[in-house]
Amino acid sequence: MAEFVTLDVTDGIGTIRLSRPPMNALNRQVQGELLEVSRAAAEDPDVKAVIVYGGEKVFAAGADIKEMAEMSAGQMTDAIGALQAGLGAIASIPKPTVAAITGHALGGGLEVALGADRRIAGDNAKLGVPEVLLGVIPGGGGTQRLARLIGPSRAKDMVFTGRFVGAEEALAFGLVDEVVAPDAVYEAARTWASQFVRGASRALAAAKAAIDEGLDTDLATGLKIEAHVFASLFGTEDRAIGMASFLENGPGKADFTGN
């Protein structure tokens, strides 16, 4: 049973909750629990979309520096794979995911949020990758996912300076997708996630795989990935249901089964 990371499933939406007061520092135990709970969300057929949430006051203020401070280069070489897997676990869920961000999302905390498909932030949010101020760099996927999301120039500015970015600036350059009042963050995330509860789950997973895998390669290979997952959907119940519904009733009225 996970101690600091939980999965609650309500009405088809799974909420992955970080709860390690006071700042949700992401030590090795939390990283492992994130991986475990993300796998559970991925495998649970009752979960159609996922929210990752740190609570009303803070998302996560980064890795546990006290735990890292005495580690040698050899020890970190052995540990870095687990660190990247844990902090990047949200990205491995083949369902729509959204990070609901209140307060600080820094270092490893921002890296967790970067693994989501969408980020909704409170207007009090502060986001950043301040690792360079500790003499290191983001190591949980931050240099790669951040640059892919906001472009190399903006990513380098954030990584090189370690500065914190406010919610409105983050919205302006695409680091977050929506800004709301802090007490509305979780409900805004549920509103977004609820769109997919009765959706065509296999098509959503295929769309996510085509986009994510395609971004990691050249256009020609990406088109081959798209072609493969597109064709595979013609063996699903939902494809038959969706097309029949369209022909009979027009778009947007299909009652999908998720199969």
Going residue by residue through the chain, which has 259 residues, state the pLDDT in tens, using 9 for 90 and above. Answer: 689 999 999 999 999 999 999 999 999 999 999 999 999 999 999 999 999 999 999 999 988 898 999 999 999 999 999 999 999 999 999 999 999 999 999 999 999 999 999 999 999 999 999 999 999 999 999 999 999 999 999 999 999 999 999 999 999 999 999 999 999 999 999 999 999 999 999 999 999 999 999 999 999 999 999 999 999 999 999 999 999 999 999 999 999 999 9
Residue 204: C-alpha distances to residues 18, 38, 81, 98, 120 (Å): 25, 17, 28, 14, 20
- The answer to whether the beta carbons of residues 28 and 82 sit under 8 Å apart is yes
Sequence ranges of the domains in the chain: 5-194, 201-249
Task: Give me the pLDDT at residue 203, please.
Answer: 97
Predicted confidence (pLDDT) per residue in 171-207, tens digit: 999 999 999 999 999 999 999 999 999 999 999 999 9
- The answer to whether the beta carbons of residues 163 and 128 sit under 8 Å apart is yes
Task: Give me the pLDDT at residue 127, please.
Answer: 98
Predicted confidence (pLDDT) per residue in 118-152, tens digit: 999 999 999 999 999 999 999 999 999 999 999 99
Percentage, residues of the chain above pLDDT 70: 100
Task: Give me the pLDDT at residue 108, please.
Answer: 96
The residues annotated as belonging to the active site are 111, 131
Task: Give me the pLDDT at residue 23, please.
Answer: 95
Task: Give me the pLDDT at residue 216, please.
Answer: 92
CA distance 94 to 98: 12
Fold of the CATH domain 201-249: Lyase 2-enoyl-coa Hydratase; Chain  A, domain 2 (1.10.12)
CATH superfamily of 5-194: 2-enoyl-CoA Hydratase; Chain A, domain 1 (3.90.226.10)
- The answer to whether the beta carbons of residues 44 and 9 sit under 8 Å apart is yes
